[in-house]
Amino acid sequence: MAFGLLKYGLSRRRPVKRFLAARPELRPSYDVAIIGGGGHGLAAAYYLAARHGVRNVAVFDKGYLGGGNTGRNTAIIRSNYLTPEGVAFYEESMRLYRGLSEELDYNILYSERGHFTLAHSDSAMRTSRWRAEVNKHLGVDSEVVEREELARLVPLLNMSDEVRHPVLGALYHPPGAVARHDAVAWGYAGRAQELGVEIHQETEVTGIKIENGRVVGLETSRGPIACGKAMQAVAGLSGQVARLAGFTLPIRTVPLQACVSLPLKPFLDPIIVSGSLHVYISQSDRGELVMGGATDPYPRYQTSSTLDFMEGLMAHILELFPFMVDVPVLRQWAGMTDMTPDFAPVMGLTPVENYYIDSGWGTWGFKATPVCGTTMAEMIATGRVPELIKEFRLDRFRNFSLLGEKGAASVGH
Amino acid sequence: MMTRLPEPAGLLLDRTEQVSFRFEGRQFQGYRGDTVASALAANDVSVLSRSFKYHRPRGIHSLSGLDANTLVQVGPAPNRFADREPLVPDLEVTGQNYWGTLRHDRLAVFGLLHRFFPVGFYYKAFYKPRWTWPLWAKMIRRIAGLGTVDTNAPHGYFDKQYLFCDVLVVGGGAAGLAAASQAAAAGAEVILVDENAALGGGLLYGRADAGGIRAEEERARLVGDVEGSDRISVMTETACLGRYADNWLPLVRGNRLYKLRTKALVVATGSLEQPLVFRNNDLPGVMLSSAAQRLIKLYGVKPGRRAVVATADDEGYGAALDLLDAGVEVAAVVDLRMDAPRTAMGDTLAARRVPVHAASAPWEAVAQRKGAGVARVRVARIEEDGVCAPSVDSFSCDLLVVSGGHAPAAALLRQAGAIFTYDSDRHATTVAELPSDVFAAGDVAGTSGLDAAMADGRRTGWQAAQAAGLDVGPEPAAPAEEEPAAAQAAWPIFAHPDHKAFVDLDEDVQVHDLEDAIAEGYDHVELLKRFTTNGMGPSQGRHSSLNAVRILARAKSRSVDETGVTTVRQPIVPVTMGHLAGRSFEPVRYTAMHFRHLEAGATMMPAGLWLRPEFYGDKARRQALIGEEAKNVRDNVGIIDVSTLGGLDVRGPDAAEFMNRMYTFAYLKQPVGRSRYVLMTDLGGVVVDDGVACRMHEDHFYVTATTSGVDNVYREMLWYNAQWRLKVDVTNVTAALAGVNIAGPNCRPVLETLCDDVDLSPEGFPYMGVREGHVAGIPTIFLRVGFVGELGYELHVPASQGEALWDALMEAGKNHGIRPFGVEAQRLLRLEKGHILIGQDTDGLTTPHEADMAWALAKKKPFHVGIRSVRMQAAKGLTRKLVGFEMPGVGVEQPKECHLVIRGGEITGRVTSVAYSPNLDKIVGLAYVAPDQSEPGTKIEIRVDGARMVNATVAKIPFFDPDGARQEL
């Protein structure tokens, strides 16, 4: 029995100790205002306070903690990207993730499961090799496995030739992991609050006050505040919030859907992804199969689900795992992804002085949560753009310095 | 003790047909019409499964699939609701989630240790030190989950069907039946869907009057009306999975998924009876009043010997009378309400000497010493909401029937965008706002009583027909006076100092778990759900959300409406993957010559949706055969099926202008009868497709595109044409045409024997020429092109004649050494010529300059898609360049495609194409390298498998026949 539970169980203290603070009253002014109470915004707030001593920080969210894409993604964490910039960045994120439960004193249930990106065509095999070679060059554990080896590593996988898209091999990334997405947001939120950060849920930012090209405050649904610096981390609403600050982003917002099954006795340990079939699937510690697919075929600012998505996804999953035919699906949902033309994020400075952006997270934002926190916090605290995120700058779209992560995006777009 | 009752109880049973089945290895008998749960109840089996967290024994609670208590394993299928699973012969059923036996589950120890497993316990422990978590995770994983997936389960048959109607009515109770009849009478084509085996809803088992006869009378009349209408199609045993945008509703019956579009939707799904929350409210033998009534009326099962009924509204009174009629002793009726109105049923109960304890609550159920069921219930007077007086009355009983009030079965309505509000006088949820093509009828809309439900049904049926655009008659008369809806008890939740008062039976969430979570700060309705998992289980909050919201509202001193609700997501009821997948139609495209390839022993490979021959002959000789096929093209003549290439017809007076804008080259002055290379870039200046454009007439271009790119090219063309509004029409003719490339020094004589209306001489039909004529009598477009670097013709014919063309060419080529070649040989041949393949030699960022394609950019034209980006990038200078490279044919390890070019420990590029050329006796390839490595003769290093480095030399392309003499013969 873990000591923490013994202590908890034997304690007679009621009510229990508060972990997440109650929403405070707005103060007139903050050093830093963060728009968006998802994983990224909360992580930035935490590291500002924990690493840089910047504690007069307020986080604003129009809904609840982690209620956007933080709570809607399928919680896969990996670093087998295609560009050196991407690999270095996500490697750092995984390093932070591995120690995050201890750092936050909150179990985020980070579990390394092994991550397989299946290839069903020789062009997919080529892309797999490209990724593996770049990964290995940069020290990431990543390898192309051919059919026979794959069949040995994932014996449940249907390796038949008599299917529409036979599996030819895979890119295998042993450190690929899953974590409890909500716990990441809650852990950061709780610890940030302990250090003095204020979190204002159900407080919508309705305007951004700019004087002489510099951000000076925010209008919120509960009144105005002044701030020295501000940051936005609002995923699917990135374009709309940037518009409040007076600039535009090369971002389209496209829904991405996912679903879970009823809980099943665990039988599937690794994370299986197929770009050609638009499938990703893993089994959570509750025993639910967590499944996702391609982004919706059209841009939209909505999170409604479609039947079409479920039909297509299940047909493809059954091609990979025909025995799942009787598995009941419990619930589906959607999030809004902020897609950039080169499938890499937009981080750093903006046309507005002291206003920083963290967006363009498309379908890959959760895995970057800790490193977005550390780098954004460093940039806000020091005013310098950290090396790790230099290439993600917004002005690359004007300068034709795109990054080309499309080949490493987990599913079709 | 549960036993079978004599007829007429058991409306759904066919007692002439016994059905035997096995549960937990024991043989049982039921009747046709039983569910697994009802048949087990009739055999006095009270424990069906074990709960998710504490492994507590669980039995029937709702008997309508609204809780996870009855989840069982049926053959290979996990997590089946036993109360929804029809009994069929020889079913093999087991309980779920136990270690040991269902009766003696060793993991029930978690129940004893519950104080060490508080809400969200896994967030609070197991991670210090870091290395311990994977061990804990493994243990947690071992005990997680419910049912077991059989990894050898066969793929059963499932299919799909589309349905359309004017009015869909979901729910075949009083309101739904009345709505269907009224809509049909108004002229609508109606589909009526009900999840149960018989129509009637609550009329089948509920009690409409003290005498207990009216429900059946009304049901017979309403069902008779529906069955008498030829405009109503009835679908029973059909589950509606949800409502998607534009009244798009999936229905499941048997092994079929119906996808239905309706003009108007009437939701008459009734209400969901809610549990009462008190200590041990989950014991087998504690069940909802509707469950007890269903057991009696539908399945002929006497649910116990001696019962106590606890109720938050009038519902329990009817149940008590039904129990009495079924021979169950009713020890007491416990009414939670402070001021219950006097009713006829109450009077009848009093006459039958059943004591009623008003303003009281079940404080605790006590389990049997041996066995899992309920033995006693301790009843106390309510002092205030959720608080009871210390003194208790104790009643022994083996059945505790509870009714915690009702919540509308509102999932469909909420998904349609309906807004609900909590009526704090009646302590019930009611609908406040509906979309214009969706209607709510009966209990789901908050009506009270049978007459009101039927009147509401008639009204909404008429409205729905009107919304469907029908010319309806006058609105049906409203009932003279609506009965005022009775209030439910304010607070059906009674926490106990010793806990085990469950709010969510699926997830074993107790009252104090919710209170602790709120106290810890998870005090938004969504955070509370996510942290406690209340409402995240198989029943998705149908029996637990309302009570959780009440607890949160009280803790925060907010109203229920202010506290909010969590989103009701699809599917409303779990649906198997097989149903959603159906027969998994995914098109495979065969070319017209597909079967000729198979006959010739081809190994087929996917190319987009198509299949193409990779090579012909024995798989074991793959490499040799590819070499032979290629050599035969160089020496004699070969043919390859190129039908999968995209074909686009661009017609209209502005066709040339359109081409000039879509592609990088110049097309305005392209002569008729000539073809020209096309290269397409996107807005970012990235190469996305290529092909050739044939000018057939002044205002007609026939354009080819890559196999995998054509759909995208076509879409882009339509998109831009919609903006530019040129006088152009674009048609995708890919599938309409079959194509063959016949190439090699001997190809002209082969063609000459089959064609007499095109001058095939080098002068009459030069390289890059285009002609129209006939081959073997088949109308043909001839393109003289040279992708493989030999004299060659692409012949494009109607797809219906592709096979005939193939046969004619093979026959005519016999004496000239003709042989088909596959995609692999073609790749080798084109590589020898240094031709790039879009998608293989380019990636998501490749610019024309990087790909050494600057020659394909028209210098003087003002515009093509992406021109600004292409020019800006060119001005910036290159960061990489695509070059040819070569290596000796023997003694070196051949790199694979995508191996990296390394210089000084840095990546400078990668190999995109590589092959050994028997023809040249060396390894040739294409690779990206740094710009300063691009001069022919430069040595480069490539890292191959095992991190070994191999040397290669940058070479001029083409590697073979650099002057193109062979293709221009």
Torsion, Cα B38 B40 B43 B47, to 10 degrees, reads -120
**What pLDDT band is residue A12 in, cutting at 50, 70 and 90?**
low
Same domain, B644 and B760: yes
> Is pLDDT larger for residue B210 or for residue B467?
B467
Same domain as B843, residue B746: yes
**Once rounded to an integer, what is the mean pLDDT over residues A396-406?**
77
Minimal Cα–Cα distance from B897 to chain A, Å? 6
Question: Residue B644 — very low, low, confident or very high, per pLDDT cuts 50/70/90?
Answer: very high
Q: Note the pLDDT of residue B484.
A: 65
Q: What is the pLDDT of residue B948?
A: 94
**Domain range enclosing B366:** 278-404
Query: Best of A42, A102, A118, A307 to disrupt the B interface by mutation (most B CBs within 10 Å)?
Result: A307
Q: Choose among B123, B530, B570: nearest Cβ to A107.
A: B123
Are both B124 and B182 inside the same structural domain?
no
pLDDT tens string B900-911: 999 999 999 999
Residues A349-394 pLDDT 10s: 999 999 999 999 999 999 999 999 999 999 999 999 999 999 999 9
Q: Is residue B832 part of a domain?
A: yes
Token pair listed for B336: 């939670």
**What tokens were used for B17?**
């047909």
| Tens of pLDDT, residues B501-555 | 999 999 999 999 999 999 999 999 999 999 999 999 999 999 999 999 999 999 9
Q: What are phi and psi of A87, to 5 degrees?
A: -60, -50
Cβ pair B873, B847 in contact under 8 A: yes
Residue B692 domain-assigned?
yes
SS3 state of residue A302: coil
Q: Any chain A CB within 8 A of the CB of B949? A: no
Nearest to B773 by CA among B752, B788, B800: B752
What is the rounded average pLDDT of the residues B146-174? Answer: 94
pLDDT at B427: 84
Q: How confident is the model at residue A397 (pLDDT cuts 50, 70, 90)?
A: confident
Mean pLDDT in residue range B879-894: 94
Cβ separation B123–A112 shorter than 8 A:
no
- Omega cis (within 30) before A299: no
Name the residue facing A331 among B125, B154, B540 (closest C-beta). B540
Residues B903, B721 contacting (CB under 8 angstroms): no
Q: What ranges make up the beta strands (E) of A296-381?
A: 328-339, 346-349, 355-359
CB contact under 8 A, B125 and A110: no
Distance from CA of A337 to the nearest CA of B (A): 19
- The whole-number average pLDDT for the span B481-488 is 69
Domain-embedded: residue B733: yes
Q: What is the CATH number of the domain that holds B509?
A: 1.10.10
Question: Residue by residue, what is the 3-state secondary structure of B582-636?
Answer: CCCCCCCECCCCHHHHHHCCEEEEEECCEEEEEEECCHHHHHHHHHHHHHHHHHC
pLDDT at B818 over 90: yes
Strands B387-396 and B374-384: antiparallel
Which residue matches tokens 């003009």?
B263
Q: Is B668 on the interface with A (CB under 8 A)?
A: no
Task: Pick the closest to residue B812 from B800, B824, B795, B789 (CA basis).
Answer: B795
Q: Is residue B507 part of a domain?
A: yes
Cα end-to-end distance, chain B, whole Å: 97
Rounded CA separation A288/A50 (Å): 35
| pLDDT given for residue B857 in this prediction | 96
Choose among A5, A15, A329: nearest Cβ to B117. Answer: A5
Question: CB of A168 within 8 A of CB of A120?
Answer: yes
pLDDT tier for residue B476 given thresholds of 50, 70 and 90: confident
DSSP state of B652: S
pLDDT, position A412? 46
CA B317: distance to chain centroid?
A: 43
pLDDT 10s digits, A51-97? 999 999 999 999 999 999 999 999 999 999 988 889 999 999 999 99
Secondary structure letter of residue B81 according to DSSP: E
Report the C-alpha gap between B185 and B169 in whole angstroms: 14
In this predicted structure, what is the pLDDT of residue B4?
96
Shared domain for B543 and B663, answered yes or no, is no
Query: What number of C-beta contacts closer than 8 Å exist between A and B?
Result: 299
Picking from B112, B128, B151, the residue at the C-terminal end of a domain is B151
Shared-domain flag, residues B373 and B412: no
Q: How does residue A407 score in pLDDT terms, banded at 50, 70 and 90?
A: low
Residue at B488 is within a domain: no
Which of the four pLDDT bands, split at 50, 70 and 90, describes residue A329? Answer: very high
* Burial zone of B859 (CB within 10 Å; 0-12 exposed, 13-18 middle, 19+ buried): exposed
Q: Shortest CB distance from B156 goes to which of A112, A325, A328?
A: A325
Helices (H), A112-200: 122-137, 147-153, 181-194
Domain stops at, among B853, B873, B893? B873
Percent of chain B with pLDDT over 70: 99
What is the distance between the alpha carbons of residues B136 and B116, in angstroms, rounded to a whole number?
15
B559 vs chain A: nearest CA distance in angstroms?
17
What is the Cα–Cα distance from B754 to B743, expressed in whole angstroms?
15
Distances in whole angstroms, Cα of residue B853 to Cα of each of B532, B681, B830, B847: 60, 11, 16, 8
Residue B898 region by backbone torsions, left for phi larger than 0, else alpha for psi between -120 and 50, else beta: left
Residue B836's pLDDT band (boundaries 50, 70, 90)? very high
Q: Which helix (H) or strand (E) segment is A309 a member of?
A: helix A307-320
Per-residue pLDDT, A350: 97
Please indicate, yes or no, if residue B496 is contained in any of the structural domains.
no
The average pLDDT across A288-304 equals 92
The phi-psi region of residue B484 (left if phi > 0; otherwise alpha if psi is between -120 and 50; otherwise beta) is beta
Q: Looking at the whole model, is its pTM more than 0.80? A: yes
CA–CA separation, B584 and B575 (whole Å): 16
Query: How many Å from the N-terminal Cα to the C-terminal Cα in chain A?
Result: 45
CA B840, CA A122: separation in Å to the nearest integer?
10
Q: What angle do CA A302, B419, A36 make, to 5 degrees?
A: 40
- B823-832 and B622-635 are packed helices; what angle lies between their axes, rounded to 10 degrees? 60
- The 3-state DSSP class for residue A217 equals strand
In whole angstroms, what separates CA B596 from the centre of its chain?
38
Rounded to whole angstroms, how far apart are CA atoms B223 and B210?
Answer: 22
Averaged over A21-27, what is the pLDDT? 95
Q: State residue B190's pLDDT score.
A: 98
pLDDT at B490: 85
From residue B254, give the alpha-carbon distance in Å to each of B77, B159, B160, B195, B258.
15, 10, 11, 11, 10
Q: Quick one: pLDDT at residue B480?
A: 58
Q: What is the mean pLDDT of residues A15-42?
A: 94
Rounded CA gap, B539 and B68, in Å? 6
* Backbone φ/ψ region at B444: left (φ over 0), alpha (ψ -120 to 50), beta: alpha
B396 and B415 share a domain? no
Which of A407-411, B699-703, B842-846 shows the lowest per-residue confidence on average (mean pLDDT)?
Answer: A407-411
Q: Does B370 touch chain A (CB under 8 A)?
A: no
CATH number at residue B297: 3.50.50.60
Contact A311 B582 (CB under 8 A): yes
Does B703 fall in a domain? yes
Which tens digit of pLDDT belongs to each residue from A223-261?
Answer: 999 999 999 999 999 999 999 999 999 999 999 999 999
Say which residues have a Cβ less than 8 Å from residue B551's Cβ, sequence separation at least 6: B493, B503, B511, B514, B515, B518
Q: Which residues of B touch A7 (CB under 8 A)?
A: none
In the block, tokens 């896969």 appear at: A76
Q: What is the pLDDT of residues B416-458, one digit of tens each?
A: 999 999 988 888 888 889 999 999 999 999 888 899 999 999 9
**What is the overall mean pLDDT for chain B?**
94
Q: Are residues B316 and B427 in the same domain?
A: no
CA B614 to chain A, closest CA, distance in angstroms equals: 11
**pLDDT at site B587:** 85
Chain B residues closer than 8 Å to A67 by CB: 526
Q: Count CB neighbours of B248 within 10 A.
A: 15
Query: In chain B, what residues touch A112 (CB-CB under 8 Å)?
Result: 134
**Which pLDDT score, from 0 to 100, does residue B482 have?**
60
Read off the CATH number of the domain in which B110 is found. Answer: 3.10.20.440
- Label residue A306 by pLDDT band (50, 70, 90): very high
Selected for mutation to probe chain B from A262, A268, A332 (highest B CB count within 10 Å) is A262
Q: Answer yes or no: do B714 and B834 share one domain.
A: yes
Nearest to A400 among B527, B876, B910 (CB): B876
- Based on the domain organization, do B399 and B293 belong to the same domain? yes
Are A331 and B571 inside 8 Å of each other by CB? yes
Q: Tell me, yes or no, whether B506 and B549 share the same domain.
A: yes
Tokens 């609050």 belong to: A193
* Residue that terminates a domain, selected from B118, B151, B184: B151
How many structural domains is chain B composed of?
A: 5
B205 and B249: one domain?
Answer: yes
Same domain, B83 and B55: yes
pLDDT in tens, B22-74: 999 999 999 999 999 999 999 999 999 999 999 999 999 999 988 999 999 99
Mean local confidence (pLDDT), A259-286: 94
Domains and CATH numbers, chain A: 25-75+181-250+342-408 (3.50.50.60), 111-176+253-339 (3.30.9.10)
Does pLDDT of A1 surpass 60?
no
Cα separation, B839 vs B824, in Å, equals 16
Chain A environment of B896 (Cβ under 8 Å):
129
